[in-house]
Amino acid sequence: MNKLAICPGSFDPITNGHLDIIKRGANIFDNVVVVIFNNSAKTSLFSVEERINLIKEATKDMKNVSVDVSDDLLINYAKEKKASVILRGLRAVSDFEYEMQITSMNRRLAKDVETFFVMTNNQYSFLSSSIVKEVAKYQGKVTGLVPEIVEAALKEKYD
Ligand code: ADP
């Protein structure tokens, strides 16, 4: 059976930390769908369309990776797509409590969808979309932390 993994998040914007997780997932599972969940509690810098385009461009060499968007509950989306895995990244201990809460709830809602954690590469353990935006806002250099296309898009936003 084809193993489909969903990699959910805000991706506002996609960073090299996200890409690292996606790439490693793509080496394990048959297909990975990066899904932008439109979380109304968060205000975003990039529109959904912009985020889709940035993810598509950044993952264009990964043939089994595609992009989607949803405003459904993650676990409903996973069931509808018959996904077997939810792929998440773990950076630091601070991620753990939040992830455990979500994972426990998702398991309660759907026992056959497994959440799979990939420990981040050390060089990205401090990296988040928020910190990248904060640095870029004040014209700090984010080279090496985000794909080049994202770096250019951030420059355009904050110019
Ligand atoms: P969310 O708002 O759901 O946390 P994000 O876009 O911030 O969405 O993150 C999506 C996923 O990517 C999460 O599993 C998060 O832990 C993971 N992630 C984010 N940044 C990194 C990083 N630097 N290294 C590894 N995983 C990361």
Report how many domains make up the chain: 1
Question: What is the residue range of 50's domain?
Answer: 4-158
pLDDT in tens, 1-30: 789 999 999 999 999 999 999 999 999 999
Predicted pLDDT at 8: 97
- Is 127 a pocket residue for ligand 1 (Cβ < 6 Å)? yes
Check pLDDT > 90 for residue 132: yes
Q: Identify the DSSP state of 72.
A: S
Query: Cβ contacts of residue 30 below 8 Å, gap of 6+?
Result: 2, 3, 4, 64
Mean pLDDT for the chain? 95
Sorting pLDDT into bands at 50, 70 and 90, what band is 40?
Answer: low
What is the domain-level CATH number for residue 129? 3.40.50.620
Q: What share of the chain is helix, strand, coil (3-state, %, to 5)?
A: 45, 20, 35
Check pLDDT > 90 for residue 143: yes
Q: Stretch 22-44: mean pLDDT, rounded? A: 92
Check pLDDT > 90 for residue 131: yes
Ligand 1 centroid vs 57 CA: distance in angstroms?
A: 18
Active-site residue numbers?
18, 42, 91, 129
pLDDT in tens, 51-69: 999 999 999 999 999 999 9
- Is 19 a pocket residue for ligand 1 (Cβ < 6 Å)? no
Tell how many helices (H) and how many strands (E) occur in the chain.
Answer: 6, 5
User: Of all protein residues, whose CA lies closest to atom 4 belonging to ligand 1?
Assistant: 9
Looking at per-residue confidence, does 22 or 43 come out higher? 22
Sorting pLDDT into bands at 50, 70 and 90, what band is 38?
Answer: confident
Looking at per-residue confidence, does 2 or 140 come out higher? 140
Note the pTM of the prediction, 2 decimals. 0.94
Hey, is 75 helix, strand or coil? Answer: helix
Tally the C-alpha atoms within 13 A of residue 143's C-alpha that lie toward its C-beta. Answer: 1
